[in-house]
């Protein structure tokens, strides 16, 4: 949904949508928005109230803009506190019955103020604005999130893996077979194409990749995929967690962001004269992202628990470096197999996890890349191997804790301008607040506090 005011819904399309949902047995419609701590907040209405919600929105307090992940209420320079109200307006174009929650449908929401104008700190609108800025520069950005999660035995606050076996192992896939089949089918019913599904490396872990979408659509997809994963796990008698760390000391779950940029001549990351086929604009786009990575960590992995995952030699991307197919680099260039480069070449931001608001993550990465293009930025030398094991490595480590990441975001002129003062301050407020609240927490305490939040 675009525009600066609540759009007038088309009555015929709303009636048709309601009729389709009613025929599927839908009784309730969930409207979601994601706050700056990465928590998906929801309101719901009976199907009979959908037309009213689409026209006027559903009320939600703006206090959530400065909530921490554990629901502590903070106040920033511009947002937070008990005053005012927002209207969450469903994007009816994304309205879909929930395959794993019979009787329910879902739509992502955009935020407006009561007077009808766009809320200045709407995260979904931020992603749309950055996609529009790319379009104004003659670029089309495609994006997708990888999803990693762990499946646990239900009924305990501790983590006990529901499946066992080697990472990527066939025995683990056998344990996942029915769940994986049902998950892929459910996502297909909801309009999300799955590229890959397989058992991953960590305890009880699975991974799923989806087909790319436009930036806002990719963030919507991320919300819907995780919703479906959790709901379906419950139906199978398990519990799913997207938390970055379930067991301290081991590998965690990430939410790597893949993206590519295209102009009228094709993919900026392929068929060019530069290294690995990079075109000058493609190199500049990546260089802009690489430069802003310390600040981007606050958005993409800024929760205190994120740094339990962001360790060396775990393929978590803790180094502010880039490389072709280099899994220890925070920015990984994927060129594709010979003959597929034109459509397959993309960049992966490896340091992100599911504590991120996906709309902020994709929008901020685009903003950083566009800044690189405006400045004709250039990439430094690439790395190979593992900087932690390379004698004499000069690789710079990304922020090592939540406070450092928040400070980097506060100092980023590029992201401050893109986000605007209200949203930039709100994100910094949340991340600094979380950092202070958990500054003395042990890894075990952090894991316990975040294990079942995402």
pLDDT on residue 93: 93
Strand ranges in 220-256 using DSSP code E only, listed in sequence order: 238-241
pTM above 0.85, yes or no: yes
pLDDT on residue 390: 84
pLDDT on residue 202: 87
* 228, 338 Cβ separation under 8 angstroms: no
pLDDT on residue 2: 43
Distance set, CA 320 to CA 121, 232, 289 (Å): 29, 37, 10
pLDDT on residue 183: 98
Distance set, CA 206 to CA 158, 191, 241, 255, 257 (Å): 19, 21, 10, 12, 17
**Domain residue spans in the chain?**
11-119, 129-450
pLDDT on residue 3: 57
pLDDT on residue 8: 76
Strand ranges in 37-139 using DSSP code E only, listed in sequence order: 40-46, 58-60, 86-90, 96-97, 104-113
Instruction: Return d(Cα 229, Cα 244) in angstroms, integer.
Output: 16
Identify the CA nearest to 215 among candidates 184, 258, 254, 256. 258
pLDDT tens readout for residues 280-326: 999 999 999 999 999 999 999 999 999 999 998 888 999 999 999 99
Domains 11-119 and 129-450 share a fold: no
CATH 1.10.20.10 fits 129-450, yes or no: no
Tell me the sheet residues that pair with 80: 75
Residue ranges of the chain with per-residue pLDDT less than 70: 1-3
Q: Pairing relation of β-strands 329-334 and 346-349?
A: antiparallel
pLDDT on residue 123: 98
* Domain at 11-119: CATH architecture: Roll (3.10)
pLDDT on residue 124: 98
pLDDT tens readout for residues 361-413: 999 999 999 999 999 999 999 999 998 888 778 889 999 999 999 999 999 99
């Amino acid at each position: 949904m675009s525009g600066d005011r609540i759009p007038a819904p088309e009555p015929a399309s709303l009636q048709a949508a309601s009729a389709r949902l009613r025929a599927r047995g839908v009784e309730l419609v969930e409207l979601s928005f994601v706050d700056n701590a990465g928590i998906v907040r929801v309101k719901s209405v009976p199907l009979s109230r959908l037309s009213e919600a689409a026209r006027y929105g559903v009320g939600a307090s703006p206090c959530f803009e400065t909530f921490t992940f554990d629901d502590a209420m903070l106040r920033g320079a511009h947002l937070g506190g008990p005053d005012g109200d927002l209207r969450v307006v469903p994007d009816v174009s994304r309205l879909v019955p929930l395959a794993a929650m019979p009787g329910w449908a879902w739509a992502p929401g955009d935020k407006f103020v009561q007077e009808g104008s766009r809320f200045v700190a709407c995260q979904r609108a931020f992603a749309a604005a950055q996609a529009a800025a790319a379009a104004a520069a003659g670029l089309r950005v495609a994006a997708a999130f990888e999803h990693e999660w762990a499946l646990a035995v239900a009924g305990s606050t501790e983590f006990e893996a529901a499946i066992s076996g080697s990472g990527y192992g066939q025995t683990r896939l056998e344990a996942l077979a029915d769940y994986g089949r049902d998950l892929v089918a459910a996502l297909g019913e909801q309009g999300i194409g799955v590229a890959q599904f397989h058992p991953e490396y960590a305890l009880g872990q699975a991974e799923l990749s989806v087909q790319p979408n436009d930036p806002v659509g990719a963030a919507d997809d991320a919300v819907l995929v995780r919703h479906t994963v959790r709901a379906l796990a419950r139906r199978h008698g398990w519990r799913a967690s997207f938390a970055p760390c379930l067991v301290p000391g081991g590998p965690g779950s990430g939410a790597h962001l893949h993206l590519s940029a295209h102009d009228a001549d094709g993919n900026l990351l392929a068929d060019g004269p530069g290294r690995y086929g990079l075109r000058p604009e493609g190199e500049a786009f990546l260089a802009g992202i690489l430069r802003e990575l310390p600040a981007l960590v606050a958005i993409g992995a800024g929760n205190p628990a994120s740094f339990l995952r962001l360790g060396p030699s775990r393929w978590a991307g803790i180094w502010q470096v880039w490389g072709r197919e280099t899994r220890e680099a925070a920015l990984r260039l994927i060129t594709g197999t010979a003959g597929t480069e034109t459509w397959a070449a993309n960049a992966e931001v490896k340091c992100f996890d599911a504590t991120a608001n996906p709309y902020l993550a994709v929008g901020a990465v685009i903003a950083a890349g566009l800044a690189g293009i405006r400045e004709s930025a250039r990439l430094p030398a690439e790395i190979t191997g593992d900087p932690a094991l390379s004698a004499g490595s000069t690789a710079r480590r990304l922020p090592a804790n939540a406070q450092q990441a928040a400070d980097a975001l506060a100092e980023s002129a590029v992201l401050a301008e893109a986000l605007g003062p209200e949203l930039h301050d709100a994100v910094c407020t949340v991340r600094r607040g979380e950092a202070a609240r958990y500054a003395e927490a042990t890894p075990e305490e952090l894991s316990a506090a975040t294990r079942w939040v995402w």
